[in-house]
Structure 1
């Protein structure tokens, strides 16, 4: 697998989201052969569009283009992800830990649904959502179509401002 970190629209999106530039595969992959990524291949970076502690790695695609992407988010224990929306469908698989997730414009701990490792969820564009990790770190994998972004319901929750 060839990874690169040249200036691309993915880097520009990363910078606009407040993230450090990230390595991305040359894709979305539609060629011959396979892409095989081991955990040691991943380069985790802070996510400027999320409160401190969250990290991101892009497995394939360009978050700034109208194309498929796959990325992972790592959130520490006892982490709150405040109500927000995304411009496109978000497909989430919980890879490790237990993620507590809900739909709504206001954070309501009683409304959270427990998603243990292996769970899957799909959220529609523009639909508000929020989440929380428990006592352990959580890693989720997101699949979607760019261009990608996040908008917080309450602008005071946006660390970019």
Structure 2
């Protein structure tokens, strides 16, 4: 294990965890009772506020974040400590200014991870998954390198995970080799490209929808055009 990562991430595997059955922004959905069951996320929903207000400085908050299989969260920072518990599927966490698969440490169901405030980190969903995040607000996400997002309405430019991307006429030449609607095959199956994210100089990942409606993400070099 990489010592620098091992010193920052504490993994606590629960002996028994029971659960029931993606770049967006923290939804204000406060809990209505003391018990908030884990339920299926609505299509295209990525965030759920379980308790508190993640936007309020000094306030305790609890949120859940859903990621589709293969999705990479690029290097970013938060102003306060981030506490992570995996409540569905498998997540991986790494530290550093550049995304590296070798730097990822797997977090299975029930694992706990601690990311100190202002520490640059990244992650990847190994499967369709949900992580439970808690801490002291504000929960804001600042990308180390701003990213471009390919959507049905054009290309958006994004510097923060908490604010919507803004339309831009800039389309970095090395970003979007595949176009929306391309039929491709990846490790999770065959499907159609319905979106993409590009961090210039780093990587481009594509969002794929399969015939059955299931969605996953893959880097361009992992996909074969059909």
Matched, 1:73 2:65: yes
Deviation by residue 1:35-83 (Cα, 9 ceiling, x = unmatched): 012235x8x578xxxxxx6611011001121210000001000111000
Question: 1:98 is matched with which residue?
Answer: 90
CA contact (8 A) 2:94 2:103 kept: yes
Distance 2:90 2:26 in 1: 27
State the secondary structure of the residue aligned to 2:147.
helix
Pairing 1:134-153 to 2, within 5 Å after superposition: 134=126, 136-153=127-144
132 and 75 in structure 1: CA distance in 2 versus 1, 3 angstrom threshold:
same
Q: Which has the higher helix share?
A: 1
Higher strand content, 1 or 2: 2
Number of matched residues? 129
What TM-score do you get using the length of structure 2 for normalisation?
0.52
Does residue 37 (structure 1) correspond to residue 42 (structure 2)? The answer is: no
- The match for 1:86 among 62, 78, 85 is 78
Q: Which runs of 4+ in 1 moved over 2 A?
A: 17-22, 156-161
Larger relative contact order (CA 8 Å, sep ≥ 6): 1
Report the alpha carbon displacement of residue 129 of structure 1 after superposing the two structures with TM: 0.4
Structure 1, unpaired ranges of 5+: 1-16, 27-33, 47-52
Mapped partners of 1:79, 1:129: distance in 2 = 15
- Give ranges in structure 2 of 5+ residues lacking alignment: 1-22, 149-157, 159-163, 167-226
Quickly say closer, same or farther: Cα 1:156–1:113, change in 2 above 3 A: same
RMSD over aligned CA atoms reads 2.5
Q: Report deviation, 1:18.
A: 5.9
In structure 2, the residue corresponding to 1:155 is in which secondary structure?
Answer: strand
Contact 1:99–1:115 (Cα < 8 Å) also in 2: yes
